[in-house]
Amino acid sequence: MPTLTLKVPAAMQRELKKTAKKRGVKVSAFARAALEAELHLERPGSLVGRGRGLLVIPPDYDPAAPVFATKEWAKH
């Protein structure tokens, strides 16, 4: 794949790194996916654009965890 150099303000770079880390991907993969979405491009095997409008489950979601705190549940 060719390399693209992109100059961004320091604040944007921090935000890109933070968001990519939060999603568990490299900054280049995150930026590539954002560009693909903006340009309406899809690579073979890309998940960009699929499942739009579906519920996004946070990475820290635990389906086994109770919905209500035990103390709160006892009140009802």
Write down the domain spans for the chain.
10-75
Residue-level pLDDT at 53: 56
What pLDDT, in 10s, does the model give residues 52-64?
555 667 778 787 8
What pLDDT, in 10s, does the model give residues 45-54?
555 555 555 5
Has residue 21 got a pLDDT over 80? yes
Residue-level pLDDT at 46: 56
10 Å CB burial of residue 40 (0-12, 13-18, 19+) is: exposed
15-23: average pLDDT: 91
Q: What is the DSSP string of 39-50?
A: HT---TT--TTT
The residues, any chain, with a CB within 8 Å of residue 40's CB and separated by 6 or more, are: 49
Has residue 9 got a pLDDT over 90? yes
Is the pLDDT higher at 49 or at 4? 4
C-alpha to C-alpha distance for 36 and 33, rounded to whole angstroms: 5
